[in-house]
Amino acid sequence: MIHSILREKSAQFFLMYSNSVNFYYATKFKTHDPAIYLIGEDGTELIVVSEMEKKRVEEESKVKEIASFEDLGYKEKLRELKDSKRAFSEMVVELLKTHKAKKVLIPHELPAFLAVSLSENFEIEVIENPFIKIRAIKRGDEIEKIREVCNALIDVFDKTVKNFKFKSCEEVRNFIELNLFERGYLAEDTIVSTGKQTAIPHHRGHGKIEEHLVIDVFPRSREHLYYSDFTRTVFLEKNQELEDMYKAVVEAQERAISMIKDGVNARDVHTEVKQVLEDFGYKTTKTEGFIHSTGHGIGLEIHEEPRISDCDIELKSGMVFTVEPGLYYKDIGGVRVEDVVVVRKNGCEVLTNYEKFIRL
């Protein structure tokens, strides 16, 4: 697919830097150090890393052509220029010139120092990284990785609510994040909000637990980096107004899930969620009610394609995303329910199966 994009753009090369998950997706190589991945219309596919990382790339990556900075004269340039970024940029420019490059496609996330240097030597076109769209449809092995994280998340969440002795939001958050970390998953900024805090969808939450909690956990594997995402509203005291709101969002979610299958328009799913909530009598303004999208893709990033909102996107088998309606009113509080689903030909599979109504 990448080579077809190059032909369509009448360009010679697409260049990617190691500062995005797209690099990891394309190369199967995980690094925090500078590296580039180069794809050419002429069939070139090359990854360039430090000499220290060369052996690891050979073992982990499927990219056949590998070069090190040292192979391309980086150390000599660094001694001459005494500037690591300039030396790196000149190394990349010379590499492209040896391949007779005339035009280079670069993604939005390419570092500015490198983009400027390339623009001084080649015709440049800034494009959306094509791997973003490719990643929207998950392979079978990717779905299994996400399923693994979902299973671990559900297990820890179940342990949390069944052994609930917590007095503060911080205690709940620490318990969840520590248990996930011990299992090999990193959960950061877990949402455990209570009371009026819950009227702000992404309020992290703090202080003494009141009559209800919104718990939103979005861990990723420390090994393979794939995410999950899951939310439940937990009731500790009777509050009919909040419970009625929650019944509405659960109904909206179930209606949405019943619609999802290959070929459905994401806009129609979002429209149905809004209609259900309106039918329950919940009105939305710019700042209150149902104020976010129905869902977002999930994979190597917590928010990725597809977006389940007011946009025309055809759902396709293999897409993985959340379904998470919510209602938020500053004078009452907020509620949300969220699950991860996989689109199948004739329906969808829920990866985060857990009871919707939780009262402690």
Q: Is the pLDDT of residue 10 over 80?
A: no
Protein fold of 2-135 = Creatine Amidinohydrolase; Chain A, domain 1 (3.40.350)
CATH of 140-359, one of 3.90.230.10, 3.40.30.10, 3.40.50.300, 3.30.750.200: 3.90.230.10
To the nearest whole number, what is the mean pLDDT of the chain? 95
Measured CA to CA, the distance from residue 312 to residue 266 in angstroms comes to: 6
Question: Do 140-359 and 2-135 fall under one CATH topology?
Answer: no
The pLDDT tens digits for 50-83 are 999 999 999 999 898 999 999 999 999 999 999 9
For residues 16 and 53, give the distance between their C-alpha atoms in angstroms, rounded to a whole number.
17
User: What's the pLDDT at 176?
Assistant: 98
CA distance 64 to 277: 53
Percent of the chain clearing pLDDT 70 (strictly above): 97
Q: Torsions phi, psi of 89, nearest 5? A: -60, -45
Lowest average pLDDT, out of 61-65, 181-185, 220-224, 233-237, goes to 61-65
Query: In this predicted structure, what is the pLDDT of residue 347?
Result: 98
What pLDDT digit, counting tens, does each position of 137-180 carry?
999 999 999 999 999 999 999 999 999 999 999 999 999 999 99
Residue 5 pLDDT: 45
Order of strands, sheet of 45-49, starting from the edge strand that comes earlier in the sequence: 65-68, 45-49, 36-40, 13-17, 103-107, 123-127
Q: Please tell me whether the peptide bond between 306 and the residue prior to it is cis, using omega within 30 degrees of 0.
A: yes
pLDDT confidence of residue 162 = 96
Mean local confidence (pLDDT), 178-189: 98
Helices marked H in the chain — which ranges?
2-8, 21-27, 51-60, 74-81, 84-98, 112-119, 130-135, 140-162, 169-182, 240-259, 266-279
7 pLDDT above the threshold of 60: no
Nearest-angstrom CA–CA distance, 330 and 113? 44
Q: How long, in residues, is the chain? A: 360
**Per-residue pLDDT at 220:** 98
For residue 54 the two structure tokens come to 């060369």
- pLDDT given at position 89: 97
- Alpha carbon separation from 101 to 4, 258, 269 (Å, rounded): 17, 50, 45
Tell me the domain boundaries of the chain.
Answer: 2-135, 140-359
Please give the pLDDT value at position 12: 87
Give Rg (Cα) of the chain. 24
Q: Kindly report, residue by residue over 242-280, the tens digit of the pLDDT.
A: 999 999 999 999 999 999 999 999 999 999 999 999 999
Largest CA distance in the chain: 72
Q: What is the pLDDT of residue 43?
A: 86
Task: Return the pLDDT at 109.
Answer: 96
Average confidence (pLDDT) over 193-206? 98
pLDDT at residue 9 above 70?
no
- The two tokens of residue 345 are 């030909």
Q: Say whether pLDDT at 15 is over 50.
A: yes
Average pLDDT, integer, range 348-358? 98
